[in-house]
A and B are shown apart, each in its own frame.
Chain A
Amino acid sequence: MKALFLADLYQLRINFKFYGVFVVVAVAITAFSGAGEDNLGIFFPMYAVFMCSMMSMSLLQLDEASRWNVCAQTLPCTRRDQVTGKYAVTLVSFGVTWGLFALLYAVLAALGRMTWQMMAVQTILLLVMGLLAPAVSLPTLFRWGSAKGRVIYIGMVILLAAGVGGTLAGLARLDHIDLPELTAPLLAVLAVAVPIALFIGSWALSVRWYEKREL
């Protein structure tokens, strides 16, 4: 499993050179725009995190094009290893991007440019987005191949747009409602726990589906 993960990391490094620029730009824009109140503030971070967590889709496509997915099976690696490697790489590329933005929000909040509440909300939103997208799309890719991947990607982008819209509406309402003392932290915990659980569940499902697949 380490071997496949290492191969994925090498490939990720090559891709990141391109995406990395975008992430840096997104961080810069977020830092200097009015973070939290207007669209740009939420859109760029969301898209950056989304793109990075969907990196594994590009890697899967690359694997199929080069037939590494077949070659890997001639090594003493199992299909489960192949799946785990991709999920691990997703965590890495998502983690780095999300970490950057979480740090940025923390700095902005510390500087007073952002409320701590806003920071928590946005950070959690990014986490949800970043984990949900691959959690939903990866099993499909493992089961039906990356040809369908493009369709999934478009679907996810649409969902992202819907998510952004819904979030903005929700955020607008949040400020006007007085939440009971414990609800907010509870919601926060749920908002973190559920995507993580889904991510793990998605891994298990991918393993199951991929093991059955004929290449």
Chain B
Amino acid sequence: MNAIETRGLTKHYGDFTLDNLNLTLPSGCIMGLVGENGAGKTTAIRLLLGLTRPDGGSATVLGAPVGPDMRAVKEDLGVVLDDVGYPAGLTARQMGKVLAAAYENWDTGLYESYLRDMNVPTDKKFSELSRGNKMKLGIAGALSHRAKLLILDEPTGGLDPVVRDEVVDIFGQFTRDPACSILISSHIVSDLERLCDYIAFLHKGKLLLCEEKDRLLEEYGVLQCDRAALEALAPGAVLGKRLTPYSVEALVRRDAVPAGAELRPVTIEELFVLLVKEDMR
């Protein structure tokens, strides 16, 4: 059973459309959903959580169809929204009691150990916590009820590099269990680069690609050359480029480039930026 499956998922808003999203997250894997602000990541997540109704297509989460009644599935779902959304006046301790009442499999000991390890103050009101602590609290809440799928919307935004590293580590540990999967949306690509098994690029509501991260890194490379060499390349080999007065950096398909050409490895971040820039041209 796939952790997440969408078929032709579509949603129209006034000036934006999430168009025909086809995404599959196999069980036990981590997928990074990459996209600029407004690309549709949050819309996709809201659809997957049944917070809003699709205008077309369908989706399943942990095998259950997505819709207004996802009560049973949500027992196995850990969610952290980009602003976490806990009640302003509640402390971490009180929130723990609320979540304990909400989830059948809540593990208070685990929750407290997460709070301790991440240094989250337990008796401060939620509104008084720093952005980083709010996020960490949300993560502790999502990880303490034996969820099988984590859905995270921009969980590392606003966090300093040390905390980001901690948090990414925690997600990695979560998936030691082969039944556990993660969908994580972010526009900070470098965090996802290390962690993810699959990468999906969303741009202006459309899915540009969705592939195994390793294959992406193998399929594409960056060719540093001069303009003449750029012209000489086969059509369709170049997917994006960056021109300076002295050089050309071209994002190319490795198999479309003459053998012996020196390609340097591409990062997921570069890949995304160059693809989007090309699309915007």
Partners in one complex: yes
Question: Interface on A for B, CB 8 Å cutoff?
Answer: 2-4, 6-7, 10-11, 14, 62-63, 65-68, 70-71, 73-79, 211, 214-215
Q: Is the CB of B102 within 8 A of A67?
A: no
- A132 vs B77: C-alpha distance when bound (angstroms): 39
Q: Within 8 Å CB of B52, what residues of A?
A: 214-215
Given contacts A62-B88, A76-B74, 5 further A-B contacts (CB under 8 A): A3-B98, A70-B51, A73-B51, A75-B99, A214-B53
Query: How many A-B pairs fall under 8 Å by CB?
Result: 80
Nearest opposing residue in chain A for B68, CB measure: A211
Q: Decide if the interface of chain B is mainly helix, strand, loop or mixed.
A: loop
Q: List 29 A-B contacts (CB under 8 A).
A: A2-B102, A3-B98, A3-B99, A4-B102, A6-B97, A62-B87, A66-B85, A66-B126, A67-B83, A68-B87, A70-B51, A70-B85, A71-B85, A73-B50, A73-B51, A74-B51, A74-B74, A74-B77, A74-B79, A75-B74, A75-B99, A76-B74, A76-B102, A76-B103, A77-B71, A77-B74, A78-B71, A211-B68, A215-B51
Q: Within 8 Å CB of B79, what residues of A?
A: 71, 74
Q: Is the CB of A71 within 8 A of B75?
A: no
Q: Is the CB of B102 within 8 A of A10?
A: no
Nearest opposing residue in chain A for B79, CB measure: A74
- A214 vs B83: C-alpha distance when bound (angstroms): 19
Q: Mark B66-96 against chain A: 1 for CB-CB distance below 8 A, else 0.
A: 0011011011010101011111111000100
Number of interface residues of B (CB under 8 A): 32
Q: Distance in Å from the Cβ of A10 to the closest Cβ of chain B? A: 5
Q: Within 8 Å CB of B81, what residues of A?
A: 67, 70-71, 74
Q: Within 8 Å CB of A14, what residues of B?
A: 89
Q: Would you call B9 an interface residue if the criterion is a C-beta within 8 Å of the partner chain's C-beta atoms? A: no
User: Known contacts being A211-B68, A215-B52, is A11 close to B87, with CB within 8 Å?
Assistant: yes
Q: Is the CB of A73 within 8 A of B49?
A: yes
Nearest opposing residue in chain A for B83, CB measure: A67
Kindly list the 10 A-B residue pairs having the minimum CB-CB distance in the complex, ordered from nearest: A71-B85, A3-B102, A74-B79, A3-B101, A67-B85, A76-B74, A66-B88, A2-B101, A14-B89, A68-B87
- A5 vs B126: C-alpha distance when bound (angstroms): 18
- A92 vs B192: C-alpha distance when bound (angstroms): 47
Q: Within 8 Å CB of A70, what residues of B?
A: 51, 81, 85
Q: Within 8 Å CB of B98, what residues of A?
A: 3-4, 6-7, 10
Q: Is the CB of A74 within 8 A of B49?
A: yes
Q: Within 8 Å CB of A68, what residues of B?
A: 85-88
- A211 vs B223: C-alpha distance when bound (angstroms): 54
Q: Within 8 Å CB of B88, what residues of A?
A: 62, 65-66, 68
Q: Would you call B130 an interface residue if the criterion is a C-beta within 8 Å of the partner chain's C-beta atoms? A: no
Q: Mark B93-118 against chain A: 1 for CB-CB distance below 8 A, else 0.
A: 01001111111000000000000000
Nearest opposing residue in chain A for B138, CB measure: A71
Q: Within 8 Å CB of B101, what residues of A?
A: 2-3, 6
Q: Is the CB of B103 within 8 A of A75?
A: yes
- Give which listed residue, A10, A73, A78, contacts B87 with CB less than 8 A: A10
Q: Distance in Å from the Cβ of A27 to the closest Cβ of chain B? A: 26
